[in-house]
Structure 1
Amino acid sequence: METTQSARIALIEDDEIVRQATTQWLQLAGFDVVEFGLGNEAFDVIQHQAFDAIISDVRLPDIDGIMLLEKLIDSGVSAPVLIITGHGDVDMAVKALHLGAFDFIEKPFQPDRLSSRVSQAVEQFRAQTSTQLRGEYLASLSGLEKVLVGQSEVMKRLREQVARIALIDTNVIIYGETGCGKELVANSLHKGSGRKSHQFVPINCGAIPENLFESELFGHEAGAFTGAAKKRIGKLEYADKGTLFLDEIESMPAAMQVKVLRSLQENTVERVGGNKQINIDLRVVAAAKEDLREHPEFRQDLYYRLNVAQIYIPPLRERGEDILTLFEHFAKESNRNARSVSDADKKAMMSYGWPGNVRELRNVATRFALDNTMSVLEILSNRPVASSEPNSTGVPLAVQLHNFERKVLEEALTRHQGRINDVMQELDLPRRTLNQKMQKFGLNRSDFTDP
């Protein structure tokens, strides 16, 4: 009931005693109820105000419930409508269902049944509305929003910060965990700057062997060392008038830090084996997973040279409201006709810690979009736990329960060699429930019977 508390309900009932009693039942269940005695009166208000569900008696003094339902649908009201019927109005209720009513409930009804159906209607409506809003948001993306996707407040602030800092021609340090999009932010800074017509040059400091670092950054002259058959332009020189992105800068060897600092101070580079000072004009955007001030092997003078502006990218677990939006965005990128995500998959995604952040989410969404046989829950349950990542929550409870339930069923089917009646008796499950669970986990009776 927690998800439907504070839901706003329109109740249309001409019998004042029934209306008051129904209002009290719904209020006790946590709903905010607005009462109406006439259908047309209700229609005038519902057109202009937001409701999560509408409950209407089928027989009203001024208009019957079917006509009211048709008017609501024609006017574009999307909130679910539940029709309350008398014993002799079943045919009319069935017609209402064909027209698009969510459900009908016969009088007299139990209060719990009414509140339960209203809860289901509200939850379904909110889920559909949320999906529609995410779709509309994704369809409307442009510019920076199309690159740094998300509707959470932290992402809105991040986009504002990136747009602002991009216009300031200064060095920047970006902090964020693995997979959270540091290179995307760096590229966005470049594309929003006055240097956008020149090169954006990314380099991963953690991926370069130490003996090749100097040549990679500064270049070399022909014959500078064994194997240097011809002149090579280094990354700093290549990034002239553009942006140099130094990812995982905390991995840069100490000897290189001294040389990079000198180049940035003097705005020059000297190729390995050369004597000429080459002028450069570039912006440096550095990225790190940890605070460089706390890193024992990182030079403080280089830190202060780079740390003119600073950007922090929050991990995915701190922007949970963006998870489903990003998932749909990545799934549609891989397959325009990607299937919808089930409620169980949504819960699994929201409870998972995403130690690999947006990169991991993209991988899961791509696999889901390209493999129609796998649910998100199954994809997550088969992924290794990245326990080495900070603040990893490991395998979510939903995934653990999924795996445990499947194991119990498999073991029972194996013990009883696929005899369904024996499995039903051991696990105390009705046949229909057992069949549904076997279908859910892709288990076939024939796989457990003797050949």
Structure 2
Amino acid sequence: MTDDTPNLVRLVEDDAALLAATAQGLAMAGFTAEPYADPLAALEGLGPDWPGVVLSDVRMPGIDGIELAARIRAIDPELPVILLTGHGDVEMAVQALRDGAYDFMTKPASRATLETTLRRALAARRLVLENRQLRRERDQAVPPDGLIGRSPAIRHMRATAEHIARAGMHALFTGEAGVGKERLARHIHAMSPRRSRPFVAVSCAAIAPERFDADYLGSVGGSGPHLRSYGRIESASRGMLYLNGIEALTPEMQARMLEVIETGTVWPLGASDARPVDLWVIAATRADLASLVAEGRFRADLYYRLSGLTLSLPPLRARREDVPLLFRHFVQRATERNGQRVPALTEVDQAHLDGHDWPGNLRELEQFAEAFCLGLGAAPEGTRGASLSEMISRYEAALLRDALRQEGGNATAAMTRLQVSRKTFYDKLARHGIRSGDFRAPRGGA
């Protein structure tokens, strides 16, 4: 509902005196009335984003209120239409209600009944528009780099991200360096109802234990309660707190963090009482936290508090079919940023994209794309200074890997694709240290 047209009511009534009196009464009750004597004119300007409700008489010349309600329903079936009927029109109004009208009232309607019905309809309209806006923002949100792709793992991650954003659940992200854990957390925050509140990212490995209370819980000055600094945890209240590398927290900091999450309060240094916080925590780790818990190196209660929903982000080598899409995305972004044209992709570039394992994951691929756009890193690692036979061997290995990936690890289909004999195919696999089983999709999905 827009602030400049609060409680907007489009009033349709062909009796001029009654129209003026009703409009005046609505204005006195705090509504913004738009009076129309002509029902056809009253249709102008109505649309899916119109923020009010329609209050219409039934008996009117030209088209009656029943027809007006039907036409409005064709414009937006969720736009509330309330009909004012005489006693003889009740049966007709009931049918209109079944057809989608919001409500009807018999004349003369009491002021209290009219106001209550209008406010209820306006609240319903406001909710409809807010939900539509949320859906638009969600649909228009650009997926983060880590969610670009068509692999089963990425489809699973997209669905899980929407679930986390909608439910506001604490979650634990696991995965190698560079797989996009923080990018995913920021995307979930942007999709959530908390997107207008801060996203506070904390590198747990960078926390100085002696500064934890002051920097993360806050402090109160000595000369009064209003001279205080807000800690980073309190700054994340009603937003999202992202804890990267949570395994780096000392046992003392783990205990303090658990207390904050469980009690929903922080106790700033020098404060006489605790401060409430509304925390939504996404933690991330490269470590095997379950093993650290078993070894007594991480608190089990904090682990179980955060790991109710655990999402493992796969490395690029486990979703190689997404590499071309990600590469094009990074190249497009780099060329737009630098005002350049997209360079031509050479066979050597393609071989590197197909054959490299990308141990640095998204970060490494993004750096390669940016170097490619600048003409500095288009050649695969190690090819500069290599002999022709060495480059041919690497390109052959890339072709073998690509064929196996395309065929899901089916060696017979891959050798058919490459038009080579079984002996030649397996000799080449052995020469390059390639195993067809590495390209088969894991059972159990993402």
Using the size of structure 1 for normalisation, the TM-score is 0.50
Q: Which runs of 5+ in 1 are unaligned?
A: 1-140, 225-229, 382-398, 410-451
Are 2:172 and 2:307, in contact at CA under 8 Å, matched by a contact in 1? yes
Aligned to 1:124: none
Aligned to 1:311: 311
Aligned to 2:328: 328
CA deviations on 1:303-338 (whole Å, 9 max, x unpaired) are 111112111110011111111211121111111412
User: In the TM superposition, what is the alpha-carbon distance from 1:269 to its structure 2 partner?
Assistant: 0.0
Aligned to 1:177: 176
How far, CA to CA, are the matches of 1:329 and 1:161 in structure 2? 22
CA deviations on 1:54-103 (whole Å, 9 max, x unpaired) are xxxxxxxxxxxxxxxxxxxxxxxxxxxxxxxxxxxxxxxxxxxxxxxxxx
User: In the TM superposition, what is the alpha-carbon distance from 1:145 to its structure 2 partner?
Assistant: 3.3
How far, CA to CA, are the matches of 1:142 and 1:339 in structure 2? 29
What fraction of aligned residue pairs are identical, expressed as a percent? Answer: 31
Q: How does 1:198-213 map to 2 (within 5 A)?
A: 198-213=197-212
Shift in CA distance, 318/407, structure 1 to aligned 2, threshold 3 Å: closer
Q: Which runs of 5+ in 2 are unaligned?
A: 1-138, 392-446
Aligned with 1:347 (options 332, 344, 351): 351
CA deviations on 1:331-352 (whole Å, 9 max, x unpaired) are 1111141202212211112211
Q: Is the aligned partner of 1:249 residue 2:246?
A: yes
How far, CA to CA, are the matches of 2:368 and 2:235 in structure 1? 36
Are 1:324 and 1:346, in contact at CA under 8 Å, matched by a contact in 2? no
User: In the TM superposition, what is the alpha-carbon distance from 1:200 to its structure 2 partner?
Assistant: 1.1
User: In the TM superposition, what is the alpha-carbon distance from 1:210 to its structure 2 partner?
Assistant: 2.7
How far, CA to CA, are the matches of 1:159 and 1:281 in structure 2? 25
Aligned to 1:372: 375
User: In the TM superposition, what is the alpha-carbon distance from 1:155 to its structure 2 partner?
Assistant: 1.0
User: In the TM superposition, what is the alpha-carbon distance from 1:356 to its structure 2 partner?
Assistant: 1.0
Are 1:144 and 1:159, in contact at CA under 8 Å, matched by a contact in 2? no
Using the size of structure 2 for normalisation, the TM-score is 0.51
Q: How does 1:252-271 map to 2 (within 5 A)?
A: 252-271=249-268
User: In the TM superposition, what is the alpha-carbon distance from 1:199 to its structure 2 partner?
Assistant: 1.2
Aligned to 1:404: 386
Aligned-partner residue type, residue 404 of structure 1:
A
Aligned-CA RMSD value: 2.4
Are 2:197 and 2:238, in contact at CA under 8 Å, matched by a contact in 1? yes
User: In the TM superposition, what is the alpha-carbon distance from 1:213 to its structure 2 partner?
Assistant: 2.6
CA deviations on 1:249-272 (whole Å, 9 max, x unpaired) are 011111000011111111000112
Shift in CA distance, 196/142, structure 1 to aligned 2, threshold 3 Å: closer
Q: How does 1:278-317 map to 2 (within 5 A)?
A: 278-295=275-292, 296=295, 297-317=297-317
Q: Is the aligned partner of 1:214 residue 2:196?
A: no
Aligned residues: 242
Are 1:292 and 1:303, in contact at CA under 8 Å, matched by a contact in 2? yes
Q: Secondary structure at the residue paired with 1:376?
A: coil
Aligned with 2:229 (options 227, 232, 250): 232
Shift in CA distance, 403/317, structure 1 to aligned 2, threshold 3 Å: farther
How far, CA to CA, are the matches of 1:164 and 1:331 in structure 2? 30
CA deviations on 1:387-412 (whole Å, 9 max, x unpaired) are xxxxxxxxxxxx4xx54317999xxx
How far, CA to CA, are the matches of 1:350 and 1:275 in structure 2? 61
Are 2:371 and 2:378, in contact at CA under 8 Å, matched by a contact in 1? no
Aligned to 1:360: 364
